[in-house]
Amino acid sequence: MHSKAYLEAKKEFVNCIVMSPICLGVSLFLAFTEWYPIMKRERLKEDVQVKFEAAMKTFSDERFPLCGSDEDSDRQFLQLFSFICELAFDVYLKKQMIERLADEIRDEYPPAKKK
Protein backbone atom coordinates (compact mmCIF):
# COMPACT_ATOMS: atom_id res chain seq x y z
CA MET A 1 0.00 0.00 0.00
CA HIS A 2 1.46 3.33 -1.06
CA SER A 3 1.47 6.41 1.13
CA LYS A 4 -0.84 9.35 0.56
CA ALA A 5 2.09 11.55 -0.52
CA TYR A 6 3.18 8.97 -3.12
CA LEU A 7 -0.32 8.63 -4.57
CA GLU A 8 -0.75 12.41 -4.74
CA ALA A 9 2.63 12.86 -6.45
CA LYS A 10 1.82 10.07 -8.90
CA LYS A 11 -1.52 11.70 -9.75
CA GLU A 12 0.15 15.06 -10.38
CA PHE A 13 2.93 13.37 -12.39
CA VAL A 14 0.39 11.68 -14.68
CA ASN A 15 -1.58 14.93 -15.03
CA CYS A 16 1.59 16.76 -16.08
CA ILE A 17 2.43 14.07 -18.64
CA VAL A 18 -1.08 14.22 -20.10
CA MET A 19 -1.05 18.02 -20.22
CA SER A 20 2.43 18.33 -21.77
CA PRO A 21 1.26 18.50 -25.44
CA ILE A 22 -1.18 21.27 -24.54
CA CYS A 23 1.22 23.31 -22.38
CA LEU A 24 4.21 23.08 -24.74
CA GLY A 25 6.29 20.91 -22.44
CA VAL A 26 6.13 23.10 -19.34
CA SER A 27 4.07 20.51 -17.49
CA LEU A 28 6.46 17.79 -18.65
CA PHE A 29 9.28 19.79 -17.07
CA LEU A 30 7.28 20.07 -13.84
CA ALA A 31 6.52 16.35 -13.88
CA PHE A 32 10.17 15.37 -13.91
CA THR A 33 11.59 18.14 -11.73
CA GLU A 34 8.92 18.32 -9.04
CA TRP A 35 6.66 15.28 -8.91
CA TYR A 36 8.97 12.43 -9.96
CA PRO A 37 11.51 13.12 -7.16
CA ILE A 38 8.66 13.09 -4.62
CA MET A 39 7.42 9.76 -5.96
CA LYS A 40 10.94 8.33 -5.86
CA ARG A 41 11.56 9.56 -2.29
CA GLU A 42 8.24 8.19 -1.03
CA ARG A 43 8.85 4.82 -2.69
CA LEU A 44 12.28 4.65 -1.04
CA LYS A 45 10.82 5.49 2.37
CA GLU A 46 8.20 2.76 1.95
CA ASP A 47 10.87 0.24 0.95
CA VAL A 48 13.06 1.04 3.96
CA GLN A 49 10.04 0.91 6.27
CA VAL A 50 9.05 -2.54 4.98
CA LYS A 51 12.61 -3.80 5.47
CA PHE A 52 12.74 -2.35 8.97
CA GLU A 53 9.45 -3.98 9.94
CA ALA A 54 10.63 -7.32 8.54
CA ALA A 55 13.90 -7.03 10.47
CA MET A 56 12.05 -6.28 13.71
CA LYS A 57 10.07 -9.51 13.27
CA THR A 58 13.25 -11.57 13.06
CA PHE A 59 14.52 -13.15 16.26
CA SER A 60 11.29 -12.20 18.04
CA ASP A 61 9.95 -15.73 18.25
CA GLU A 62 10.30 -18.17 21.12
CA ARG A 63 11.98 -20.53 18.66
CA PHE A 64 15.09 -18.35 18.88
CA PRO A 65 16.14 -18.51 22.51
CA LEU A 66 19.00 -16.15 23.20
CA CYS A 67 21.84 -16.74 25.58
CA GLY A 68 23.21 -14.19 27.94
CA SER A 69 22.04 -12.09 30.81
CA ASP A 70 20.25 -9.43 28.80
CA GLU A 71 18.13 -11.18 26.17
CA ASP A 72 16.36 -8.01 25.07
CA SER A 73 19.59 -6.21 24.16
CA ASP A 74 20.80 -9.32 22.30
CA ARG A 75 17.53 -9.50 20.41
CA GLN A 76 17.64 -5.80 19.52
CA PHE A 77 21.23 -6.12 18.36
CA LEU A 78 20.34 -9.05 16.10
CA GLN A 79 17.30 -7.24 14.72
CA LEU A 80 19.38 -4.16 13.94
CA PHE A 81 22.04 -6.35 12.35
CA SER A 82 19.34 -8.00 10.20
CA PHE A 83 18.10 -4.58 9.06
CA ILE A 84 21.62 -3.41 8.16
CA CYS A 85 22.26 -6.63 6.23
CA GLU A 86 19.06 -6.15 4.24
CA LEU A 87 20.06 -2.60 3.28
CA ALA A 88 23.62 -3.67 2.47
CA PHE A 89 22.31 -6.40 0.17
CA ASP A 90 20.34 -3.77 -1.79
CA VAL A 91 23.48 -1.67 -2.14
CA TYR A 92 25.45 -4.72 -3.31
CA LEU A 93 22.84 -5.53 -5.97
CA LYS A 94 22.82 -1.96 -7.25
CA LYS A 95 26.62 -1.98 -7.42
CA GLN A 96 26.53 -5.21 -9.44
CA MET A 97 23.96 -3.75 -11.84
CA ILE A 98 26.01 -0.58 -12.34
CA GLU A 99 29.16 -2.58 -13.03
CA ARG A 100 27.34 -4.76 -15.54
CA LEU A 101 25.86 -1.72 -17.31
CA ALA A 102 29.28 -0.05 -17.42
CA ASP A 103 30.80 -3.20 -18.95
CA GLU A 104 28.04 -3.38 -21.58
CA ILE A 105 28.47 0.28 -22.50
CA ARG A 106 32.24 -0.14 -22.66
CA ASP A 107 31.80 -3.15 -24.99
CA GLU A 108 29.27 -1.33 -27.14
CA TYR A 109 31.31 1.87 -27.40
CA PRO A 110 34.98 0.98 -27.05
CA PRO A 111 37.32 3.89 -26.38
CA ALA A 112 39.17 5.29 -29.38
CA LYS A 113 42.69 3.91 -29.70
CA LYS A 114 45.51 6.39 -29.26
CA LYS A 115 47.87 6.82 -32.19
Amino acid at position 62, single letter? E
Please tell me the predicted confidence (pLDDT) of residue 62: 66
Residue-level pLDDT at 102: 92
- Tell me what pLDDT residue 114 has: 73
Q: Per the confidence metrics, is the pTM higher than 0.85?
A: no
pLDDT at 11: 84
DSSP letter, residue 109: S
Distances (CA, A) of 29 to 20, 32, 105: 8, 6, 28
pLDDT value of position 88: 92
pLDDT, averaged per 10 consecutive residues of the chain (115 residues), comes to 81 77 70 83 90 87 62 82 91 92 90 76
46 CB contacts (<8 Å, ≥6 apart)?
2, 3, 6
Whole-number pLDDT of residue 10: 84
pLDDT in the model for residue 12: 81
